[in-house]
Amino acid sequence: MKTFVGPKLKPWQKAVTDILCADDSKGLTVCVKAPRQRGKSYVSMGLLLWFGLNRKNSTSAMVSPTLGQARKVFKDIVKAASKAIKRKNETLLEIEFINGSTVFFKSAEQRDNLRGYTVDGILIIDEASFIPDTILELVLPWKQVSNCPMLVVSTPRTRDGFFYHYFQDGLLPNTGIKTIDWNDFDTSEMISPELMAQYRKILTRNQFKSEIEGEFLDGDGLVFTNIRLSAIAVPYNGQNNYKGLYGGVDFGAGGGGDSDWTCLTLFDETGQMVYLDYFNDLGTFQTVERLLRDLEPFKHNLKYINMENNSIGNPLIDLILKTANERGDYKLASVVHRWTTSNTSKNKLVNQLQVGLEQGQTKILNDSMLINQLSSFEATYNVKTQTVSYEGACGTHDDLCMATMMAWDAYYNHCLSTGVYSLGKSTQIKH
């Protein structure tokens, strides 16, 4: 049996490599729950190198939440094994070793472009709790022919999603999954008491429990709760009976890959999300056409739309309104409002949607990317400035979050606050 060769591993790291590098690892899935800064990226990189150098002509792969994370591991491997590399492609993030084996790196953001690959070395799903279930469905067929081993590793997040279910299944016998919880080991040497105390000061309670203590959260998000219970809205089905629609648009640059997303969301007069569209692979004029096409069926029902005007947003809004006006849609200019995102205005958006979800004022569409972004949204406290900032956890995007929060702001302040409607019932809400 070939064994893992490299710098000395910590006991919790060795527990993973001993299983996956064994001769009988074929078909096995190892699920590792790991607090941050305990060396899970190091183990993943080591396994990719081991399979690449010991399994001639094999193909291994790693899938990360973002392309930036995938690129970092790619660069680390190139640096660590330069003498064993025959060629590398920094655009496609592919490495070919001198023995004919290859390793490639992908991100969950590439979505449908993940189809059609084959892996017979090892498949690694990195930070799996930040990857939607729908992405796993695209990736699992890669190992179908070879039945190669798979490592699913992550900092824990919530008690749902494929990572949590793999973790639970791996605690049972004869499931083909082996769970390794790094909390079962003494990893205190990796994080000093002083650093632990600092983390307690700067992280939210949920962040500390998830990232530092390595425990699953009881709720379904780091900032937003009641997400999955709210994901029961009925999407637009071509029957336009809405009395009013309230929207939000967040603009992305349109570069594809790991670029930001352009997203449109619409809530109806009852606080239910009825429409969602997002894309990141269109140029300026295509983006304008796509959004105008999205809004066309609803143009007589639109009451208020927040469009983010930071950066590229302002000229895009100008072009949208100019094009609509040229086509005779003069109403759009009266319902589009430019939203400037700042730390203060973003905090307002977060607080409003928190209340909406927690109190059952809103329902959202059951879209995996939307749910994943809302679940991954986290708060960070800055000790120096004593301010809280919000962003997607683990480098994930928050574009769908932003569009949803802006749309909810439009509804919350221009429909709900007027006492006209609330979840289909007439209300008299005072503010």
Where are the chain's structural domains? Answer: 11-190, 227-418
**Domain 227-418 grouped into CATH 3.40.228.10:** no
C-alpha to C-alpha distance for 151 and 359, rounded to whole angstroms? 39
* Chain segment 92-123, per-residue pLDDT in tens: 999 999 999 999 999 988 888 899 999 999 99
pLDDT at 430: 28
Which amino acid makes up residue 88? K
C-alpha to C-alpha distance for 17 and 144, rounded to whole angstroms? 22
The two domains 11-190 and 227-418 share their CATH topology (first three levels equal) = no
pLDDT at 223: 80
Check: CB of residue 424 under 8 Å from CB of residue 244. Answer: no
pLDDT at 114: 92
C-alpha to C-alpha distance for 361 and 226, rounded to whole angstroms? 11
Q: Would you say the pTM of this structure is higher than 0.75?
A: no
Q: Which ranges of 383-428 does DSSP label H, i.e. alpha helix? A: 399-414
Q: pLDDT under 70 in the chain at which residues?
A: 1-7, 204, 219-222, 380-395, 417-431
Q: From the CB of residue 339, how many other CB atoms can be counted at a distance below 10 Å?
A: 23
Q: From the CB of residue 258, how many other CB atoms can be counted at a distance below 10 Å?
A: 20
Q: Which CATH superfamily is domain 11-190 in?
A: P-loop containing nucleotide triphosphate hydrolases (3.40.50.300)
**Dmax (CA) of the chain:** 74
